[in-house]
Chains A and B, each alone.
Chain A
């Protein structure tokens, strides 16, 4: 016997109200795709296949269309990630300024150990990202929605402590 976990819709109450307000901004419902997916990720931390079906139903597009979009944009998580999601910019300008050492420091201090993997306590996932658009503030790091500039390996322990 298998137990199928029942899916709880994201878009109820206030979240649904927010989506309805977003619908007013565009001439088509389908255009609310990115905002709707952001709302899903805000609520669930990632975008599951079932959530794609829900978004598709609300926007009048097929789940396959939603999936094509979700997989195009790197900021949408297709799998659950750690409570704290760290994105370190490692594109050329930051690389010149030592971004790779910053990545190593995060992997070490968070216990995530491997890029893309989640730490055993479920608290951290660390990834490399391409250009965060703050090359003059190398190395920029996004911790969840917080943009942290000029991160050096030395500053990493303090940042990790702050989010623990």
Chain B
């Protein structure tokens, strides 16, 4: 009977499932909480149906069907765990392993390998492949700037080939030869150097395509994974920061169908080393009358800052980095509200690199994650004008812009993840290094916050590791400072700051950390929607 909602009703392992027409059995099963083992299938790639791993039994079908290429039909009854289906998949696993080197102890993929996982789940306990037969051998090949190919581990699922062909639309990979001699090939003159090529490493279900950057750096089970947002450009790709012992060792894409689907570009992927910098600002520094800086505790530093702000009036300028959280930008603006303030950011521009097969996905020319957030909060892109204004201002607040070449007549407060980098001698007059206060703040990996991407999507990122020394999130510093100036209580969390922001800035009305979730929401589209 046709469903009134236009849904197709079927049964998978006894559980009733309703899904839209055209849904594949493998996706319908996911909705029932069932992961049908698979290799060649990937929701971001065209269906190939070649690994034959996702064999399931469908009642009334004469033989086992592959869940990845079979659309649901009304009344379909699917068994993923029947004897026949399990035997079929066990057979595939056995065949995938006969030529596999089983070198898991030295393989980077171990621990996050789908061949390991599914073999453990439903493979044969022992091989029947005689040790007398030689295994297929092909030497390791250097495919591109960050991709190494270990052909012996390859199971020829062709995800990499299809990614380059259909998604990157630069088919530099192929399947070469035939039968069991086949391997993933590349033309000798070609390189796997497309700006999005690194995705083949994530897509590879086994340890055949490896990142040189991550090679032998960590074992998968040692990694902690934290949801974050890429700071490489204004696209706002959702990522996972993989940390080992509080060091970021890898960035991988986190699926978000509305932003980056399953992919990130290589620029973003490699954009993490600075998160582990050792030469950080670790204690608040207060300028002494003799010109030297002295490390103090937060209480003294905040008191000094409050004194500066209390005593000043007239013009104030904020020079900010478009990599700072929306929360910090909001509080900075609140802090300067009693002044005639201007705020500006400097945007580094680069070459745009689109991913051809995915609409609206590119490494964007604007190489910062939160310029849109800054715009929404009243900051502007006219950095040169702001620099000129800073020369006359009573107070200049520099927010994680360590290269700001500012020479203010008034007081200069610098909140930074790293020490000033304006190139001048320490203590020289009228430069960032001569700031009254240098306040150490956390970087994106060390705090919670949000960015607003180019399309107005507000997205949360989560803390992955502790901040060094006495560094604190910028929102904490600015919030505590506000409290000392008598502007309410100090916020206890980034979420609380965001709530204040949502209550005060109409564009963010109705948004909260709870309703943003980890997928984010677009400003305007969600405005006014109650949580």
A and B touching (Cβ–Cβ under 8 A): yes
> Which of A's residues lie within 8 Å of B, judged by CB?
49, 52-53, 61-68, 71-72, 74
Contacts of A52 in B (CB 8 A): 187
Q: Which of B171-229 contact A (CB under 8 A)?
A: 171-178, 185-190
For chain B, give the interface size range: 10 to 19
Residue B170 CB within 8 A of the other chain: yes
**Contact, CB under 8 Å: A61 / B171:** yes
Query: Within the assembled complex, what's the spacing in Å between the Cα atoms of A63 and B175?
Result: 12
**Contact, CB under 8 Å: B189 / A53:** yes
Q: 8 shortest A-B CB distances, which residue pairs?
A: A68-B174, A63-B187, A71-B176, A64-B187, A64-B174, A71-B177, A64-B172, A62-B171
Q: Which of B453-479 contact A (CB under 8 A)?
A: none
**Contact, CB under 8 Å: A62 / B178:** no
Interface contacts (Cβ under 8 Å), in number, total 41
Query: Within the assembled complex, what's the spacing in Å between the Cα atoms of A112 and B170?
Result: 42
Given A62-B170, A64-B174, also A71-B187 (CB < 8 A): no
Query: Within the assembled complex, what's the spacing in Å between the Cα atoms of A53 and B344?
Result: 51
Q: Which of B213-253 contact A (CB under 8 A)?
A: none
Other contacts beyond A64-B171, A67-B176, A72-B178: 17, CB < 8 A: A49-B189, A52-B187, A53-B189, A62-B170, A62-B172, A62-B187, A64-B172, A64-B185, A65-B174, A67-B185, A67-B187, A68-B175, A68-B176, A71-B176, A71-B178, A72-B177, A74-B178
Contacts of B190 in A (CB 8 A): 62-64
Contacts of A63 in B (CB 8 A): 187, 189-190
Q: Tell me the smallest distance from the CB of B506 to a CB of chain A, in Å.
A: 51
Contacts of A74 in B (CB 8 A): 178
Contacts of A62 in B (CB 8 A): 170-172, 187, 190
Contacts of B174 in A (CB 8 A): 64-65, 67-68
Q: Taking each of B174, B176, B177, B186, which has the highest tally of chain A beta carbons within 10 Å of its own beta carbon?
A: B174
Query: Within the assembled complex, what's the spacing in Å between the Cα atoms of A61 and B177?
Result: 18
Contacts of A49 in B (CB 8 A): 187-189
**Contact, CB under 8 Å: A65 / B185:** no
Q: Kindly identify which residue among B170, B185, B188, B189 contacts A68, using a CB–CB cutoff of 8 Å.
A: B185
Q: Kindly identify which residue among A64, A66, A72 contacts B186, using a CB–CB cutoff of 8 Å.
A: A64
B173's closest neighbor in chain A, by CB?
A64
Query: Within the assembled complex, what's the spacing in Å between the Cα atoms of A157 and B174?
Result: 43
Contacts of B173 in A (CB 8 A): 64
Q: Tell me the smallest distance from the CB of A91 to a CB of chain B, in Å.
A: 15
Q: Tell me the smallest distance from the CB of A77 to a CB of chain B, in Å.
A: 14
Query: Within the assembled complex, what's the spacing in Å between the Cα atoms of A35 and B346?
Result: 57
Query: Within the assembled complex, what's the spacing in Å between the Cα atoms of A65 and B185?
Result: 9
Query: Within the assembled complex, what's the spacing in Å between the Cα atoms of A67 and B190?
Result: 11
A74's closest neighbor in chain B, by CB?
B178
Contacts of B176 in A (CB 8 A): 67-68, 71
Query: Within the assembled complex, what's the spacing in Å between the Cα atoms of A64 and B194?
Result: 14
Contacts of B185 in A (CB 8 A): 64, 67-68, 71
Query: Within the assembled complex, what's the spacing in Å between the Cα atoms of A63 and B188?
Result: 9
Contacts of B177 in A (CB 8 A): 71-72
A-B contact pairs, 23 of them (CB 8 A): A49-B187, A49-B188, A52-B187, A53-B189, A62-B187, A63-B189, A63-B190, A64-B171, A64-B172, A64-B173, A64-B185, A64-B186, A64-B187, A64-B190, A65-B171, A66-B187, A67-B176, A67-B187, A68-B174, A68-B185, A71-B177, A71-B178, A72-B178
Q: Tell me the smallest distance from the CB of A108 to a CB of chain B, in Å.
A: 28
Cβ contacts B143-156/A at 8 Å (1 or 0 each): 00000000000000
Contacts of A65 in B (CB 8 A): 171, 174
Query: Within the assembled complex, what's the spacing in Å between the Cα atoms of A49 and B186?
Result: 11
Contacts of B187 in A (CB 8 A): 49, 52-53, 62-64, 66-67
Q: Tell me the smallest distance from the CB of B360 to a CB of chain A, in Å.
A: 25
Q: Tell me the smallest distance from the CB of B489 to a CB of chain A, in Å.
A: 62
Query: Within the assembled complex, what's the spacing in Å between the Cα atoms of A131 and B172?
Result: 33
